[in-house]
Amino acid sequence: MNFFLISLIKIVIVFGVFMTTLAYLQWVERKVLAHIQSRTGPLRVGPHGLMQPLADVFKLLTKEDLLPPYVNRIFYLGAPFIAVALALISISIIPFGPEIAVAGTRTYMQVGDVNVGVLFVLAIAAISVYGVALAGWSSNNKYSLLGGLRSSAQMISYELPLTLVIVSPLLLANHLSFREIGNSQAGYYLGFIPRWNIFQMPFPQIFGFIIFMIAAFAETNRIPFDLPEAENELVAGFHTEYSSMKFACFFMAEYANMVTITCVATLLFLGGWQPLFPAPYSNYVPVAVFLFAGVLCFLHAVRPARKRDRYTFPVFALAALALAILFALPWFQFVLAPIFWFASKVGFLLFTYIWVRGTLPRFRYDQLMHFAWTFLFPCALINLLLTALFVAIF
């Protein structure tokens, strides 16, 4: 009974946080893109547009749900649900922190640990091609079909380098469960270089990490690899015929895949919840970060750029200071510090996603395939061979 109750609580927490992240990731993306292009981004709904995700959800829910007469009904209606359900499953095996003790019960910061966790993520990723492929096919529209075909070809092609490059951190960790992989990256070289896989000595895994991130961009259909939904060629790709909630499902699936794959990257290469600095210093970092953020907000409130900032920035400052105090308390520190490190790494990678979107142009389709098969695939293979050789020797 205890097990079921704890699992239920964990599921509720993870689901709530995950959904909020998805909603606000879109806000963050719009804001960052706007600032890259010297605009201000969403600003109307709520202070700094913070209520924008809520407004978007209402807009999508209340839009008319069109069902074109020429589509294949069953698959057309099923495809968005396949896409979104498969995108939301994988987060359940991601560990966000080590074992903790809350009110006498010891538990892991993870919904469920699977012995073959890495394979599970790969399996779900392999199945999730169908959502996109079916959406494209069932829409009975040449743009959608081309988008669906492109997307499935792209996802199959980039799965190869992705899988090959995942093997090298597995060789270093010697385990397939994410929890063990995270645990295996604890400790420091020379007292200050963390033993994350990206810094592991046999062969600097940073090349593996870069290949992984490139393949991850392609797997999630993001710029510069967003050929399946290239507007100037394919209208909107596989979801051209979708509107309202069904469109929102694809949208959510894309963002959920992004978050999941950055979590996997964090666990495999960036040490998961392991802090960047050795223990005595790492505990002060979150406090310092939030104090700095709070002071910065106060300074902006004193010299406001817009009239409304005089009222909003003090609120943000107080929230940041409250978080700083929370991180200074020993008990909260014990629970929250791993989550802080995990979230900051994932946040950094997500920021990279948006940054790349704001910076790079789109590939051409033949360039995309050529890149996958003649450059990325051999690179992943060489990386794997060298890692295996070094693991075998040392």
Partner 1 sequence: MDTLLFIVFAIVAVACALNLILQSHPISSALSLIGVMCSLAVLYLLLGAEFIAMAQMIVYGGAVMVLFVFVIMLMNAGAEKRSGKSWFAQFAGPPLLVLFAAVLAFLILRAVPKLRTVEFGTWVGGTAEHIGQMLFTEYLLPFEVISILILIAIMGAVVLASKEID
Where on the chain is the footprint of partner 1 (CB under 8 A)?
Answer: 75, 114-116, 119-120, 122-127, 129-130, 133-134, 136-137, 145, 148-149, 152-153, 156, 159, 176
Considering the complex, what minimum distance in angstroms separates the CB of residue 122 from partner 1?
6
Considering the complex, what minimum distance in angstroms separates the CB of residue 35 from partner 1?
39
Token reading at 340? 């802080």
8-state DSSP, 106: E
Nearer to partner 1, 161 or 294 (CB): 161
**Residues whose CB falls within 8 Å of the CB of residue 241, separated by 6 or more in sequence, listed in order:** 66, 68, 71, 76, 139, 141, 144
Nearer to partner 1, 19 or 156 (CB): 156
- Give residue 41's region: left, alpha or beta (phi > 0; psi -120 to 50): left
Nearer to partner 1, 127 or 360 (CB): 127
Sign (positive/negative) of CA torsion 153, 158, 164, 167?
negative
Considering the complex, what minimum distance in angstroms separates the CB of residue 175 from partner 1?
9
Token reading at 220? 């999630």
Considering the complex, what minimum distance in angstroms separates the CB of residue 156 from partner 1?
6
Considering the complex, what minimum distance in angstroms separates the CB of residue 40 from partner 1?
43
Q: How far apart are CA 322 and CA 71, in angstroms?
A: 53
Nearer to partner 1, 127 or 315 (CB): 127
Pair 343, 94: CB distance under 8 Å = no
Bond before 278 cis per omega within 30 degrees: no
Pair 129, 155: CB distance under 8 Å = yes
Nearer to partner 1, 43 or 114 (CB): 114
Considering the complex, what minimum distance in angstroms separates the CB of residue 107 from partner 1?
20
Q: Which residue type sits at 117?
A: G
Nearer to partner 1, 130 or 290 (CB): 130
